[in-house]
Homo-oligomer: A and B are copies of this chain.
Amino acid sequence: MASYKAPRRDMRFVYYELHDGERLAQLPGYEEATPDMIEAILEEAAKIAENVLQPLNRTGDEEGCAFENGTVRTPAGFKEAYTTFAQGGWTSLGGDPQYGGQGLPSALSVLVSEMLLSANLSLAMYPGLGEGACHALEAHGSDELKQMFLPKLMDGTWGGTMCLTEAQCGTDLGLIRSKAEPREDGTYLINGTKTFISAGDHDLTENIIHLVLARLPDAPRGIKGISMFLVPKFTIPADGTLGSNNGVSCGGIEHKMGIRGSSTCVLNFDDAVGYLVGVPNKGMRAMFTMMNSARLGVGVQGLALAEASYQGAVEYARERLQGRALNGAQLPNKPADPILVHPDVRRMLLTIRAYTEGARALTMWVAQEIDLAHKHPDPRRRRDADDLASLLTPVVKAFQTDTGFECTNLGLQVFGGHGYIREHGMEQYVRDSRIAMIYEGTNGIQALDLVGRKLAAHTGRYLRQFFHPVQEFLVAHAEDSALEDFIQPLAKAFGRLQRATGHIAQQGLKNPNEAGAAATDYLRLFGLVALAYQWTRMAGISLEKMEGDTSGFYAAKVATGRFYMERILPQSGAAFATLMAGAKTIMEFPDEAF
């Protein structure tokens, strides 16, 4: 069995050395986020992840959730672990202190979350959904709703969900049929059936707060007629006690490829009493608040499972004796050499490592910009930060989950046949990581979001927040001979990205299918370049600090960076050539010939 250890050294590196985490503690509201505090929290979070969540990962997968007598039973141990987790204050790291939250930066939450997801994705999803509900309520709920629901959501007494999907609509939420009927007391009666609801029912919390998309009677058709409602599983009497069943029932759970410890529910709303969140018919806006942070979170899932798989694969590659090094036996006294000697095994391990550390760096960039967008005193800086986060969110979500799945598969492959059997847990990482390419908007939808919305927004304003720093960095280091091996491939790949962007802007105007056909390869290209930029920056810092570092941390950073530039970044050429080929072969293929 793989044994996960939180990569705290690398987390400190991306938080403080690569990105300037110290500035966050200067922002109003984040004063607590001092280096000592951050370090203490990472240390404690690592303990929870390693010792409380991780031991239930395999057993949770084997047992799965059960649907019994109309409710969901989570796997053995989940309730106790969740309680320990909530009582430790881990459900409220980023929450508003006014309602019991700890008001810490999301840059920190992202690191804590990575640890939890590496240790046990299924279990970590339950508090993750509660946190998402908090975000949406904080941003869009009335003061009354906040006071009524936020404290118990934040302390983990209650859980949360996002109820979007219905049988006839996943991606296309304009097709939602669930209805909300206003009542005289200002509440609403909610009716409808929601499907694929993560954490829709479970036994971890005494109540579950559903955020439900539904239509008011006079709502416009399609996406502009959707409103958001808060619907608790059990009613909340005025005294704050737990009331009766509120017309929300679980109709069943899905049997899935992975994340089997996480319940995926059909939820029936039958005259359930709900509260409007935000403005009528503007539910999509409120939902997007939740969805953007959820998308970043899913991007973290990709790298978290890749990290866990990497650690398992390295351990196996050191221990498994099989064959001899191609240059001659390394352990002549043993029956064979460890498989770590084989170039192809090292290639697989370094690929996972390069994607994972690169993704961690990129995620931290976005997370710190999100914190700046929330708290920076200068409105222009806030806008810039928000622009960058908006631009990169679909890249983080899709690129990191696509490559995360590639990585968990490489980890399995290092184990050979032993990876395919359940015992070692490597195939679970593959199954668990597969969902991240789908939920919170499939990766194809992320790519359309990038080319269709993010590129075009405010005539390319978002894009400048990425293109300008890369360009400036390239100019500043044009003569930097120490970084030459990084600058040159970065410049080449960045040039491809610029040309591809121009191509899409031009062709997409004439024919939207051109942008649609290019989208997935463009997002891939964008992700490759974004990681190349992070790797170049990481190498620059590490080259300076390498001398005298006996831990080998910076030397390994530079070596992994070189591997990325030489052996992964060339994919950018293929992505570029593919998308530049245009939509013709895709759109001209006759429908009936498929």
Interface flag for A342 (CB, 8 Å):
yes
A314-B594 CB under 8 A given contacts A168-B335, A327-B511: yes
Interface assignment of A141: CB less than 8 Å from any CB of chain B: no
A422 beta carbon closer than 8 Å to chain B: yes
How far does the alpha carbon of A566 sit from the alpha carbon of B581 in the complex, in Å?
A: 6
Among A418-437, those with CB < 8 Å from B are 419-423, 427, 430-431, 434-435, 437
Interface of chain A, main secondary structure: helix
- A519 part of interface (Cβ distance < 8 Å): yes
Name the residue on B nearest A353 (C-beta): B594
- How many Å lie between the Cα of A581 and that of B343 in the bound state? 13
- Which of these binds chain B: A146-154, A440-448, A453-461, A533-541? A440-448
Residues from chain B with Cβ under 8 Å of A448 in the complex: 344
Copies of this chain: 2
Check A476 for interface membership: any CB of B closer than 8 A: no
Is A340 touching B416 in the complex (CB atoms < 8 A)?
no
A512 contact set on B, CB distance < 8 A: 326-327
Q: Write the nearest CB–CB distance from A559 to chain B, whole angstroms.
A: 5
| Chain B residues within an 8 Å CB radius of A353 | 594
A438 part of interface (Cβ distance < 8 Å): yes
A267 at the interface (CB under 8 A from B): no
Mark each residue of chain A from 238 to 276: 1 if its CB lies under 8 Å from any CB of chain B, else 0.
Answer: 000000000000000011111000001000000000000
Q: Which 10 A-B pairs have the closest CB atoms?
A: A570-B577, A343-B516, A326-B512, A257-B427, A556-B593, A343-B517, A566-B581, A574-B574, A563-B585, A344-B444
Residues of A within 8 A of B (CB): 165, 168-172, 175, 196, 254-258, 264, 314, 317-318, 321-323, 326-327, 335-336, 340, 342-350, 353, 405, 409, 412-413, 416-417, 419-423, 427, 430-431, 434-435, 437-439, 442-444, 447-448, 511-513, 515-517, 519-520, 552, 555-556, 559-560, 562-563, 566-568, 570-574, 577-578, 581-594
A sample of 18 inter-chain contacts (CB < 8 A) reads A165-B417, A170-B417, A172-B323, A254-B423, A255-B421, A264-B421, A340-B591, A342-B444, A343-B587, A413-B438, A413-B443, A413-B444, A552-B590, A552-B593, A566-B585, A567-B585, A568-B578, A570-B573
